[in-house]
Amino acid sequence: MPESWIDLRSDTVTKPTPEMRQAMFDAEVGDDVYGEDPTVNRLEARAAEVFGKEAGLFVPTGTMGNTIAIKCLTQHGQEVICDARGHLLNYELSMTAWFAGCLIRPIHTDDGILTWDRIEKEIRPLGPHAADTGCIEIENTHNMAGGTVYPQELIDEICDKAHARGIQVHMDGARVFNAATAAGRCVKEICAGVDTVMFCLSKALGAPAGSMVVGPKALIDRGRLYRKRLGGGMRQAGVLAAAGLISLEKMPLRLGEDHANAQLLAEGLKAIPRITVTPEKPATNIVIFGVSGTGKTGGEISAALKRMGVLINPINASTMRAVTHYDVTRKDCENALEALKSAVIP
């Protein structure tokens, strides 16, 4: 991909910073399957500390992190409640079914945010006709709903009431640091009630690869075995963990810039006739916009933009998603808006 291209397809496209590359070069490593990689061990301990949990597990991807957490929180044949547009349900190759042996019970929402009232109606006790609810999964920020952020009182209520019913809660916090920036809270506070959290060091935090699962020690110990089963025993993974440590310590501090750029994009998009933006003011770094009024499909607009050196993916024929991150500047966003105007206005 030429360096000059403006890549708004996802925050997964970020490249490691010079500081990360140096840290990777200098990393002290060992065999992590033997528990002997000092840099991985440091990252796992630090992640647990930052989230106020007992233990952490370094995994190659967010998908593997969610897969392991759900497996640890459920029994084969149970159900997992999550939002209908959740990443867990739609973009993880049915790993909840394949690995944990659970069915997802989706709840449709406008903004990706579940409430206890909606969840409670879907909780099932085990009986001759129904599988019981194994766990509840919440996505914060919610990707396909446009980077929406859970109000803290909703998370706390879901966790308190789920626990009172003997049900545990997993947070897909791929972008939980974006949620923290938007809410003005630390991740420890946001995640105090949830049992397990998966968060990504890649994506908004810029590491080349890697995600974490944090939670109770006994659960993380089991998760480590599932990671090996899934092929995630990465040996001298300290080279990646070294970049991950920088992501964890430094990169959250700059996420406000990405949020401001997303708002700039949203404002500019709203000014283009027949484009709609939902939510109108993005809370974090994801801008979802409707193009059905333009007479062109998302695919056609994406192809026209590509010819101008701007990459934005369609979600489907009528909707597109632009994601800001540290490899796109405010000027890039202004240029992307100019390209969008010429792509949709005949």
CB of 64 to ligand TLP, least distance (A): 7
Decide: is 143 part of the binding site for ligand TLP (CB under 6 A).
yes
Residues 190 and 204: their CA atoms lie apart, in Å, by 18
Measured in whole angstroms, how far is the alpha carbon of residue 328 from the centre of its chain? 19
Contact track, ligand TLP, 87-116, x by CB under 6 A: x---x-------------------------
The residue among 164, 171, 226 whose CA lies nearest residue 198 is: 171
Decide: is 12 part of the binding site for ligand TLP (CB under 6 A).
yes
Residues 148 and 285: their CA atoms lie apart, in Å, by 9
Instruction: Single out the segment in contact with ligand TLP by CB under 6 A; choices: 58-66, 238-246, 252-260, 289-297.
Output: 58-66
How would you classify the pairing of strands 133-139 and 168-173?
parallel
CB of 143 to ligand TLP, least distance (A): 4
Residues 134 and 93: their CA atoms lie apart, in Å, by 20
The binder of ligand TLP chosen from 139, 195, 258, 332 (CB under 6 A): 139
The DSSP annotation for 184-199 comes to T--HHHHTSS-SEEEE
Q: How many residues bind ligand TLP (CB under 6 A)?
A: 14
Decide: is 61 part of the binding site for ligand TLP (CB under 6 A).
yes
Q: For ligand TLP, give the closer residue by CB, 91 or 188.
A: 91
Instruction: Single out the segment in contact with ligand TLP by CB under 6 A; choices: 28-36, 57-65, 76-84, 233-241.
Output: 57-65
The residue among 19, 39, 21 whose CA lies nearest residue 30 is: 39
Measured in whole angstroms, how far is the alpha carbon of residue 324 from the centre of its chain? 14
Q: For ligand TLP, give the closer residue by CB, 12 or 335.
A: 12
CB of 309 to ligand TLP, least distance (A): 20
